[in-house]
Structures are given as C-alpha cells and as structure tokens.
Amino acid sequence: METVNIYDAKTRLSQLVDKAASGEDVVVSRNGKPLVRITRLKEDRRRIQFGLLKGKLKVPADFDAPLPDDVLAGFEGR
C-alpha cells in the first residue's frame, strides 16, 4: 500500500486512481497522518435474468381464494 502526501496526490491523481483500479490501495496523508484511502470499488452484482423459471412453476387456480376460517383466525390471533 503506497502512502502519498496530499500535495503529491493533487498532481498525480490520475496515476493514483489507475493504481487503485488495478487493485493496489493508496493512502493519502497530511503532515504524515493518514487521511483517506483510494481503493477499487467492488464489482457489480450479476444482472437479474428475467424469465429464468418460465414454464417450470405453476400457480394453482384458487391461488387468490379466501383462506379457510380456522387459518384466517390463526393469522388474526383469534
């Protein structure tokens, strides 16, 4: 991990960003005290693929039918 004075970081920012993008962290300091770290961002998550389970699942015809009274009472705490 490279440590750079803030004044040097101003003049070499592009170079330091390239180092961070390649995986090497860079610490920027002022008067010998570390202030911030320039680091690479995490990779984006996988993109959502819609329709992956199409044709593999079936929704019953009575999916939205009212619940039986005893089951409904259990949800309502009766």
**pLDDT surpassing 80 at residue 16:** yes
- pLDDT attached to residue 1: 84
- pLDDT attached to residue 45: 78
Q: Which residue has the higher pLDDT, 78 or 24?
A: 24
* Residue 63 domain-assigned (yes or no): no
* Residue 25 domain-assigned (yes or no): yes
27: domain CATH number? 3.40.1620.10
DSSP codes of every residue in 67-78:
PPHHHHHHHHT-
Instruction: Compute the distance between CA of residue 21 and CA of residue 14 in angstroms, rounded to an integer.
Output: 11
* Residue 54 domain-assigned (yes or no): no
The CA-CA-CA angle for residues 12, 3, 23, to 5°, reads 80
Instruction: Compute the distance between CA of residue 52 and CA of residue 18 in angstroms, rounded to an integer.
Output: 38
Task: State pLDDT tens for residues 20-69.
Answer: 999 999 999 999 999 999 999 887 778 888 998 999 999 899 999 998 99
Residue whose structure tokens are 């199409």:
54
- pLDDT attached to residue 43: 77
Task: Domain count for the chain, please give it.
Answer: 1
How many Cβ atoms sit within 10 Å of the Cβ of residue 25? 13
Domain assignment of residue 19, given as a range: 2-38
- pLDDT attached to residue 8: 93
